[in-house]
Structure 1
Amino acid sequence: MRTILVTGSAGFIGYHVAQRLLRDGWHVIGLDCVSPYYDPELKEARVRNLKTNNHFTEARLSLEDREAVFALMREHAPERIIHLAAQPGVRYSLDEPQAYVDANVTGFLTILECARHFSVDHVVYASTSSVYGLDEDMPLSPHRGGNHPISLYAATKKANEAMAHSYAHLFKIPLTGLRFFTVYGPWARPDMALFKFTRAILKGEPLDIYNNGQMVRDFTFVDDIVEGIVRIADRPATTNPDWTGKTPDPASSAAPYRIYNIGNSEPVELMRYVEAVEKACGKKAIRNFMPLQPGDVLKTWADVDDLSAATGFRPKTAVEDGVQAFVDWYRDFYDV
C-alpha cells in the first residue's frame, strides 16, 4: 500500500483530502496539532471519522517540532506529501502575526526539509488567491501578478511559494503550489463566511455583510478543490523547457516548480451568495451592512486554464448546490 503524508488532516480541506485518499486506497498519515484557533470539537469530530479507517494513522504533532516530524518520516516513509496545515484567516493575522510566521513559514520549512532529506516524489502545498492582493487584471492568472499581498496571511503564503522555488532549484524536488479560491462546503471552519451566514440566519441573528455587499468572490466547492489536489498530486512538477530568466514566467521555472489556480472560474457577487444561503436555510437574513475590512480584496476570479490543461479537470459546482450541501451538513451536525 502506498503511503502519503497529509498535513492539516484535522482541518477543513485536509479532512476532505484525507477521506478521498483513503477511498483511493492510500495509507494516510494525518499530521495535525489540532490548534484551538476555532472549536477543537469540530476538528476532533473530523479526526474520529478518519480513524474509523484502518489505513489512517494520526500524528498529533506541530510542524514547528522538526525532530518529531523527522521521526515520523523515518517511521512511515511516505512517498508523497500534501501540505495543507496552516494558520488560516486574513483578519486574525492583523492581531496575531507571530502565529502566521510560526505555522506558515517555520512549519513549511520543516516540510521542505522533509522533502530534502527523505525520498519524497512530490510535494503539493496550499497557497491562496489572497496572494493576488491589489491585482485587478481579471481573471487572475499565476503567469502574472501576485506580488502585492495586502495581509500577512497572504504574505506568508507568498513566502511559501518563494521558499518552494529555492528548494526546487537547489535540490531538484518537485514542488507544486495551489492557489485556492474561497473554498466552502461541508465541515467548513466556523470563521468562514458561509458558516457565519448559516448560523446567523438559522438563529435569527444579524448577518454582517462587509463593504455593503459590494464584493465578488470565485467561490469554489470543497469537492472540486479535492479533485484538483488529487489530480495534480499525481503529476509531479516538471521543469519548463521554454522558461527563460529574460522573460521569467512566475508560474513555472527551469526547476521542477509549478503554481496553479484552483477556482470555479465563475465570479459570484456576495449578495447572490447570501441569497443562496437564505434559500437553503428557508429564512431571510437580517442584513447588517458593514464597511470594507482591512486585508480584504474586492474581487477574485480564477484563470484555471493551466489546471484544465494539466489534469483535464475544471471545477464546476454551482454556488446554489454547494451552499445547499453545506446547510444540510450544518443542520445534521449541529442538530438544527
Structure 2
Amino acid sequence: MARRTVLVTGAAGFIGFHLSRLLLDEGLSVVGLDNHNDYYDPRLKDAREADLLRNSNYLSVKANVEEQGRLMGLFEAHRPDVVVHLAAQAGVRYSIDNPRAYTEANLLGTFELLEAARAFPPRHTLIASTSSVYGANTAMPYRETDKVDSQMSYYAATKKATEAMSHSYAHLFGCPVTMFRFFTVYGPWGRPDMAPYLFTSAIFDGRPIKVFNHGDMQRDFTYVVDLVRGIRLLMDAIPERPDDGTVPEGDSLSPVAPWRVVNIGNGEAVKLLDFIGAIEQAAGGKAEKQMLPIQPGDVPATWADTTLLRQLTGYTPKTSVIEGARSYVDWHRDYYAVN
C-alpha cells in the first residue's frame, strides 16, 4: 500500500510543527510548506524544521503560500490525500499595524490553496480558523452554530472570510472542507510573541509582565499536543453534503456543501491570572504585574463548546494548565538555556 501523503502549509510554524511530527510518527509522508518569514525569530522555525528533517518522510518546501501557482504545482506533483492549511499571518495586535500581510497570506494564500484543491482534489482539506471570529459574541461557551458577524480585528475578519471562501468552493466543486477554530494554543516550541513566552522570559529576567484588561481576562487555554490530536482525528471525519439538506441539531455541517466548522479547545474558561500563576509555579518565581487596559481588537473572554468535536471523533482535549504550563516552562528553560 502506498504511503499516505499529507500536505501541511505552515509546517515550520508552532502548530504545523507539532502536527507534522505527529503525522510522521504515524508513518505518513508530509510535504511541509513554510516561508520562514521574520514575523518572529526565524531561528525558531529553522530549529523546528531541523527536527522534522530527521525523518526521511518529510519534504521541506520554502515558499510563500500566496505565490501564484506554487501550491498548484505541489498538488500536481504530490497528489496529497489530505491537506491541512495552517499557513497564515497570525496575531490580533499585529493586524492593526500591518493589515496587508493578512490580506496576502490569509486571503490570497487561501485562494491559491482552494484553486489547487479544485484542480487536484484531496480526500479532505482542513483549514485553520480561529476563536477570534466569534468577535463581540458574549454568549458562552461559543458554539459552531452561533452567528459570527462581529469580528473585532482585521485578523479575525480575514479568518472569517476564509471560512466563507472555502464554503463556496465546497459547494461549487464538491471539495470536502473542515474549518477548525482553535482557541488560545500554548506549549513547547511556542512563538515568542505569545503570552507563555512573554510571561516566562519576564519572570526569568526579573522584568514586569504586561497584564491587559487589568487581569480581567479569560481564555480557553489549549495545549498544543491536544490541538493537533484533534486535527489528526478530524482528518478522518470527512464531511458529506446531506442528500436532503437536513443537518442534525448542533452540527455545523452545511446543508448545501460537504463543509463543516469545528471548535478545538479545552472546553474551559481559565482566568488569565490563574494561567500566570501556573507559569509562576513552573518557573519558580513571582511575576511583577503591570496592569493595563484591554488592547484594541482584543476580547475579554473565550470559551469553546467542544461537543461537536467529541461527537465526530470521540475526543476532548484535557491537559490542565498546571501540566501544560510546566511542560512549556521546562522546554523554555532548555531551549533558551536559562540558568
TM-score (norm 2): 0.96
The answer to whether the Cα contact below 8 Å between 2:210 and 2:289 also exists between their aligned partners in 1 is yes
Give the counterpart of 1:208 among 207, 210, 227: 210
Separation of aligned partners in 1, 2:88 and 2:192:
16
2:296 to 285, 294, 297: 294
Q: How far apart are 1:234 and its partner, in Å?
A: 1.2
Query: Within 2, Cα distance between the matches of 1:251 and 1:288?
Result: 44
Structure-2 residue corresponding to 1:176: 178
Instruction: Kindly tell me the number of residue pairs found equivalent between the two proteins.
Output: 335
Q: Measure, in 2, the Cα distance between the counterparts of 1:67 and 1:13.
A: 25
1:136 is paired with a residue whose SS is coil
CA contact 1:243–1:249 (8 Å) conserved in 2: no
2:180 aligned partner, one-letter code: L
Other-structure match for 2:194: 192
Deviation string 1:85-107 (CA, Å, 9 cap, x unpaired) is 10000000000000000000000
Which residue of 85, 107, 110 maps to 1:108?
A: 110
1:167 aligns with 169
Partner Cα separation in structure 2 for residue 242 and residue 218 of structure 1: 36
Corresponding residue for residue 322 of structure 1: 324
Q: How many Å separate the matches in 2 of 1:147 and 1:244?
A: 24
- Aligned-pair CA distance for 1:250: 5.5
Within 5 A, what are the aligned runs for 1:226-241? 226-240=228-242
Q: 2:54 aligns with which of 52, 55, 63?
A: 52
2:33 aligned residue? 31
Return the letter of the residue paired with 1:133. G
Superposition pairs of residues 80-159 of structure 1, within 5 angstroms: 80-159=82-161
Q: Kindly report structure 1 stretches of 4+ aligned residues shifted beyond 6 Å.
A: none
The amino acid that maps onto 2:144 is P
Q: Distance in 1 between matches of 2:111 and 2:166?
A: 9
Compared with structure 1, are the counterparts of its residues 250 and 235 closer, same or farther at alpha carbon in structure 2 (3 Å cutoff)?
A: closer
Matched with 1:66 is 68
Map Cα deviations across residues 135-183 of structure 1 (whole Å, 9 max, x no partner).
0111100111222110000000000100011000000000000000100
**Which letter maps to 1:30?**
G
How far did residue 240 of structure 1 move? 3.9
Residues 9 and 33, structure 2, Cα contact 8 Å, conserved in 1: yes
TM-score calculated relative to the size of structure 1: 0.97
Q: Which runs of 5+ in 1 are unaligned?
A: none
Residues 184 and 194, structure 1, Cα contact 8 Å, conserved in 2: yes
Residue segments in structure 2 that go unaligned for 5+ positions in a row: none
Superimposed CA distance per residue, residues 263-282 of structure 1 (whole angstroms, 9 cap, x where no aligned partner): 10010000000100100000
Would you say the 8 A contact 1:217–1:268 is kept in 2?
A: yes
Which of these residues, 297, 312, 315, is aligned with residue 313 of structure 1?
Answer: 315
Deviations 1:13-59 (A, max 9, x none): 00000000001111100000111100000000001000010000001
SS of match in other structure, 2:69: helix
Residue matched to 2:258: 256
Percent of pairs identical after alignment? Answer: 49
